[in-house]
Chains A and B, each alone.
Chain A
Amino acid sequence: MSPIAHSPLAACHLALGARMISFAGWNLPVEYGGLLAEHKATRHAAGLFDISHMGQIHARGKGTLQALESLLANDPAKLKDGEGHYTFLLNHQGGVIDDLFLYRLDPEHFLLVVNASRHDEDLQVLTASGKKGVSFTGAPGSAAGMALQGPKSGSILSGLCHADRDNPAPPARNRIAQYRIAGREAYIAATGYTGENGFEIFTDLSAGPVIWNTIMEAGKSDGLLPCGLGSRDSLRLEAGFPLNGQDLSPEITPMEAGLGFFVDLSRPRSFPGRSVLEQQKKNGPSRICVGLQGQPGQPPPRHDYPVFQGDRKIGVITSGVPSPTLGHGIALALITTPAPACGQDLEFEVRGRRVPVKVCPRRFIPKK
């Protein structure tokens, strides 16, 4: 194990009274004043999250596009300058090494935003592929990142970047651009992991705290709260977004996770796992991720609880939480196919007792 890494924003968290925990080798805030308040602030106003643990890997060189085309599951050739999309780095069995966001900054420079827990492995797999004309750089802990999320995030950010003559408005959804904000350089992308409109801001170590404090100050009157990993998890699950290590793993393919939309099989080029995914697309996977909703007053579903249809165990919960927005439990579960349709009754087991749930769409709150 490497030593615990500290965020470049650690001093900001300390000043805000954060409760810190260890996550994927990082010491990060789990909450500041209370998970529920942070969750609600992000749904109704805005929340600011430290995402400095997310890896920022830069791919540069004349061969970058060609290399990424043969490494990633979504087709990077679809991206124009300043655009990004969700994609996967897969193993040869089609299992997910990492799910990531890929941005095309220019024809010879792409940015990969990857999970902290997979950063080292991603870099190793990308480098070991031996692709010509491309270099991959970006060590864990070498950059700062934060996510400004929620319905007020656009107006808060507009107020801060309108002084930038080259780029006076925040980016449109799934787009990325370079900005000058709080007097410092940063890439700002209109993406997120909460189900709300929002932005992810990537910058260098020294600019991180400056930008964080400037946004906190600017958002105060709008009800902006600093938010920890606790609300990040409940927010992402309400939006139906997978968490790598729970809903995705080297044993789970994007087809099984119900994320085939982000795999491009229409292009000629091969990439790791392609033949397995083609088989699964043709014949259907042997298990599939479904949404489950509980009832108020029942124990919440959690990761690893078994799922039953009558007496038969048909799957396992990969992520579960008592939904702060809905007031009942919600979960993602990996279920043997043919999976029961939406509205069907299932049960999960906790502490020796069965709890009723219904199959439902994987997105638990309306799309923004």
Chain B
Amino acid sequence: MNTPNDLLYAKTHEWLRLDKDSATVGITDHAQSELSDVVYIELPKPGRKVAAGEVIATVESVKAASDIYSPVSGEVTEANTALHSDPGLVNREPYGQGWLFRLKPDQPKPTGLLSPSDYTATLPH
């Protein structure tokens, strides 16, 4: 499984990329692989305030609908609308074009998230 070194991770298999006062969120390679073929994604609207650990999006594969949790508290600034026409981006580029949404975190330093090595240690071997 691919687990990039420059990201933070949630136990619930989301990743977070910090860029000044903006954070981009997606699901990990492990998560997309577990879900397999993603066919539908429900994304939050910009302006929505969300608490860390709150359900913020839904990713549906042929098999099942899976909740996505916000790794941090903040206000949603942008959703990746390209996923509406091509939800498979989440499978093909989970850390790139398959990102889910951006938010402005309430805290400059996120807490309770995992380092790449700590996240990798949570995965089945």
A residues apposed to B, CB below 8 Å: 30-31, 34-36, 39, 230, 233-234, 297-300, 302, 321-322, 324, 350-351
Our pick among A233, A297, A324 for the contact of B84 (Cβ within 8 Å) is A297
Our pick among B40, B42, B63, B65 for the contact of A35 (Cβ within 8 Å) is B63
Chain A neighbourhood of B84, CB < 8 A: 297
Interface residues on chain B, number (Cβ under 8 Å)? 13
Chain A neighbourhood of B39, CB < 8 A: 300, 322
The answer to whether A302 and B62 have CB atoms under 8 Å apart is: no
Q: Which chain B residues numbered 11 to 63 have a C-beta less than 8 Å away from chain A?
A: 36-37, 39-40, 42, 58, 60-63
Chain B neighbourhood of A324, CB < 8 A: 62
Nearest-neighbour CB distance to chain B for A305, whole angstroms, equals: 10
Nearest-neighbour CB distance to chain A for B68, whole angstroms, equals: 12
Chain B neighbourhood of A234, CB < 8 A: 62
Give bound CA distance, A35 to B60, whole Å.
Answer: 13
Our pick among B36, B42, B58, B62 for the contact of A322 (Cβ within 8 Å) is B62
Q: Which chain B residues numbered 56 to 105 have a C-beta less than 8 Å away from chain A?
A: 58, 60-65, 84
Give bound CA distance, A351 to B57, whole Å.
Answer: 11
The answer to whether B36 and A230 have CB atoms under 8 Å apart is: yes
From A230, A234, A298, residue with most partner B Cβ within 10 Å: A230
Q: A34-B36, A297-B84 are in contact. Are A351 and B42 (CB under 8 A)?
A: yes
Nearest-neighbour CB distance to chain A for B34, whole angstroms, equals: 8
The answer to whether A36 and B37 have CB atoms under 8 Å apart is: yes
Q: A230-B63, A297-B84, A299-B42 are in contact. Are A35 and B36 (CB under 8 A)?
A: yes
The answer to whether A299 and B40 have CB atoms under 8 Å apart is: yes
Would you mind naming 21 contact pairs between A and B with Cβ atoms under 8 Å apart? A31-B36, A34-B36, A34-B37, A35-B36, A35-B63, A36-B37, A39-B62, A230-B36, A230-B62, A230-B63, A233-B63, A234-B62, A297-B40, A299-B58, A299-B65, A300-B39, A302-B65, A322-B40, A322-B62, A324-B62, A350-B65
4 more contacts with CB within 8 A, not counting A35-B61, A300-B60, are A36-B36, A230-B36, A299-B65, A302-B64
Chain B neighbourhood of A36, CB < 8 A: 36-37, 62
Residue in chain B with minimal CB distance to A322 = B39
Chain B neighbourhood of A233, CB < 8 A: 63
Chain A neighbourhood of B36, CB < 8 A: 31, 34-36, 230
Residue in chain A with minimal CB distance to B37 = A36
Chain B neighbourhood of A30, CB < 8 A: 63
Give bound CA distance, A298 to B58, whole Å.
Answer: 12
Give bound CA distance, A288 to B111, whole Å.
Answer: 52
Nearest-neighbour CB distance to chain A for B86, whole angstroms, equals: 11
Our pick among A31, A34, A300 for the contact of B40 (Cβ within 8 Å) is A300
Nearest-neighbour CB distance to chain B for A295, whole angstroms, equals: 11
Chain B neighbourhood of A230, CB < 8 A: 36, 62-63
Give bound CA distance, A230 to B39, whole Å.
Answer: 14
Residue in chain B with minimal CB distance to A303 = B64
Give bound CA distance, A315 to B84, whole Å.
Answer: 29
Chain B neighbourhood of A302, CB < 8 A: 64-65
Chain B neighbourhood of A300, CB < 8 A: 39-40, 60, 65
Chain A neighbourhood of B65, CB < 8 A: 299-300, 302, 350
Chain A neighbourhood of B58, CB < 8 A: 299, 351
Residue in chain B with minimal CB distance to A321 = B62
Our pick among A31, A34, A39, A322 for the contact of B60 (Cβ within 8 Å) is A322
Chain B neighbourhood of A297, CB < 8 A: 40, 84
Give bound CA distance, A279 to B113, whole Å.
Answer: 61
Give bound CA distance, A56 to B62, whole Å.
Answer: 30
Residue in chain B with minimal CB distance to A298 = B40
Give bound CA distance, A297 to B61, whole Å.
Answer: 13
